[in-house]
Structure 1
Amino acid sequence: MNPLLSPLLFTLLMLSSGPKMYECARVFTIVNYCKETIWPGVTPGDNFNGGGFELKSGQSVVFQAPVGWSGRIWGRTGCKFDKSGTGSCQTADCGNTLKCKASGKTPASLAEFTLSNVDYYDVSLVDGFNLPIAVKPMNGQGNCSSAGCDKDLRQTCPSELAVKGGNGKVIGCRSACDVFNTDEYCCRGTYGNPVICQPTFYSKKFKDACPTAYSYAYDDPTSIFTCSASDYVVTFCSSRNQTVCSYHDHKLVCNAANGLNPWMGSWWTAMLALLLMINLRIFF
């Protein structure tokens, strides 16, 4: 599935697909709240428009991924592609192509998923940071906490880690492993276990800003999350008080980013539900 959708239109599409949509798949909604166009990359990308697409500011796109899918989602910035999909990006490029077959070049903020009876998901800054990214489970069972990094680390990136564009603006923040390439920072060699490899000055800066994201390789206890039978909303540049909505089991459910309790009584939700009913009559 590959429509670029307004929030209302993708909700209509989800409704029209019926309950079978959820039986063997997870619904992924990817939303761009950034002020700029981004180009999300996904590997493996067979269920995500071949692994890459353009997403303008304010746009949403919805996909389905089967149980058993294990992969990563990230955002690319400053991209230029020709009609054949050949081109390059300033950050998180995946090999001069729109549709990614490989992971994004560091630095890249990553959302990672393994879908099974119990899904595992996280947001990782181990490969550095290029965009704020968050994962919000919807309608799942279990802990189902939000994960991610909604702070823009480009604004506070230490100069020795900063990646700058042609105009001198910081466009990414590399990891200490990527910059210094030592066993201590990369958790390898004698540091290749969680007892010896401990947080460093740089990983602590990442963790302080983004407490629910991986800051270094063994940052598991506070960075990996689980949920069962969930849909997922992946947002770029969202704020902590951002509200996201999904249509599930014939109900419109909206969750605040700082909590997972559905609310259905607001004026906005009532109006959106009314618009849904009006548009569905036209749609069918």
Structure 2
Amino acid sequence: MAGRALLALVPVLAVFFFSVRDVASKSFAISNNCEYTVWPGILSSAGSAGMDSTGFVLAPGESRTMSVPTGWSGRLWGRTHCSTDDATGKFTCVTGDCGSGRQDCAGGGAAPPVTLAEFTMDGSGGMDFYDVSLVDGYNLPMLVAPQGAAAGGNCAPTGCMVDLNGACPADLRVASTMASGGVACRSACEAFGSAQYCCSGKYGNPNTCRPSAYSLFFKNACPRAYSYAYDDATSTFTCAGGDTAYAITFCPSTTSVKSGGQNSAGLPLMNDTMVYLAGDQVNAAAARHSLVVVLLAFAVSMALTCILH
């Protein structure tokens, strides 16, 4: 009897084993390479299993690895310039605040402008889909790099490795006494609220909503990141399902990946004419030159937009 009962349990144990293995098969290794503290925030999509944490703190140089449930979808971002009010005990952040009043976001999303990493695990065809989006603006550099992925799909690092806060156009810049060059860079949608920039109303489809001079500012700096709502062709990445780990790095060094690395669409991961955050990568003269190049390109784009319209 005992033997038969044990044999009957074998299929159940096998299902349990593989279920547990699948739940823990993917992971996020989240690292803070910034010279300042970052508070990652995490929001799971409706109907998706939750993560172990929805918000925590990473001091400069710190990392945290998290298991990712099978089929998880959601977004992850970094909050900056956070503090707790001594009188009320309320926790708030200047950028990326999720409105919970606590370090954990507890179901709250990121207030723009913010750099977002977006994921759908085990999606269509068993593929993982991921991107880094600047559609809601930008607050800090971020890199998403798959590790240990099986062959297949457009499986490549993506992100925005550039410090855009200093080069941000004046009408998009979020100023603060905490940083002389601004703390974030808004999207044109947030800054102006027009249907054209927000891809809404009659502009709510890829035929009528086209790149603007503002979205091109982001795209030219970060070629693989989403720059506006219909930027799918060059900004969505996929990895074959399996035991894939994703390294998510705030303020990545340009040595994290080869600067000339190409994805299957032929796009570089970053634009070498831009200013990088890490202090060992450009000297002051090069930084000033890069900033002039960026602002000149933006001015030309704006002029062309005015002429065409």
Fold shared, TM-score > 0.5 on shorter chain: yes
- Return the alpha-carbon distance in structure 2 between the equivalents of residues 205 and 259 of structure 1: 21
Aligned residue pair count: 229
1:64 counterpart SS class: strand
Shift of 1:27: 1.1
- Return the alpha-carbon distance in structure 1 between the equivalents of residues 133 and 229 of structure 2: 9
- Return the alpha-carbon distance in structure 1 between the equivalents of residues 128 and 52 of structure 2: 18
Q: Tell me what 1:26 maps to.
A: 26
1:91 to 84, 90, 95: 95
Task: State the TM-score, normalizing by the size of structure 2.
Answer: 0.70
User: What amino acid is the match of 1:56?
Assistant: A
Distance of aligned partners of 1:61 and 1:121 in 2 relative to their CA distance in 1, 3 Å threshold: same
- Whether the aligned pair in 2 keeps the contact of 1:240 and 1:258 (CA below 8 Å) is no
Q: Tell me what 1:200 maps to.
A: 212
Q: Tell me what 1:47 maps to.
A: 51
Q: Tell me what 1:122 maps to.
A: 131
2:110 to 97, 104, 113: 104
Shift of 1:66: 1.1
Distance of aligned partners of 1:41 and 1:151 in 2 relative to their CA distance in 1, 3 Å threshold: same
2:255 to 217, 220, 241: 241
1:180 to 184, 192, 198: 192
- Return the alpha-carbon distance in structure 2 between the equivalents of residues 20 and 239 of structure 1: 37
| Structural mapping, 1:1-284, within 5 Å | 23-24=22-23, 25-44=25-44, 46-49=50-53, 51-81=54-84, 86-95=90-99, 96-100=101-105, 101-116=107-122, 117-141=126-150, 142=152, 143-167=154-178, 169=180, 170-228=182-240, 229=242, 230-242=244-256
2:67 counterpart SS class: strand
2:40 counterpart SS class: strand
Structure showing greater Rg:
2
User: What amino acid is the match of 1:132?
Assistant: P
1:90 counterpart SS class: strand
Task: State the TM-score, normalizing by the size of structure 1.
Answer: 0.75
Distance of aligned partners of 1:27 and 1:85 in 2 relative to their CA distance in 1, 3 Å threshold: farther
- Whether the aligned pair in 2 keeps the contact of 1:81 and 1:98 (CA below 8 Å) is no
Q: Tell me what 1:263 maps to.
A: none
- Whether the aligned pair in 1 keeps the contact of 2:147 and 2:246 (CA below 8 Å) is yes
- Return the alpha-carbon distance in structure 1 between the equivalents of residues 21 and 217 of structure 2: 39
1:235 counterpart SS class: strand
**Deviating more after overlay: 75-84 vs 149-158:** 75-84
- Return the alpha-carbon distance in structure 2 between the equivalents of residues 37 and 135 of structure 1: 19
- Return the alpha-carbon distance in structure 1 between the equivalents of residues 226 and 63 of structure 2: 26
Deviations 1:204-240 (A, max 9, x none): 0100000010000000000000002221000000023
Deviations 1:51-105 (A, max 9, x none): 0000000011000011211000000001113799841011110002211121111
- Return the alpha-carbon distance in structure 2 between the equivalents of residues 239 and 132 of structure 1: 10
- Return the alpha-carbon distance in structure 2 between the equivalents of residues 20 and 259 of structure 1: 36
Identity of aligned residues (%): 46
- Whether the aligned pair in 1 keeps the contact of 2:22 and 2:70 (CA below 8 Å) is no
- Return the alpha-carbon distance in structure 2 between the equivalents of residues 86 and 126 of structure 1: 28
Deviations 1:230-271 (A, max 9, x none): 21000000023216xxxxxxxxxxxx67659xxxxxxxxxxx
Shift of 1:23: 3.4
Q: Tell me what 2:298 maps to.
A: none
Shift of 1:125: 0.3
- Whether the aligned pair in 1 keeps the contact of 2:134 and 2:225 (CA below 8 Å) is yes
2:202 counterpart SS class: helix
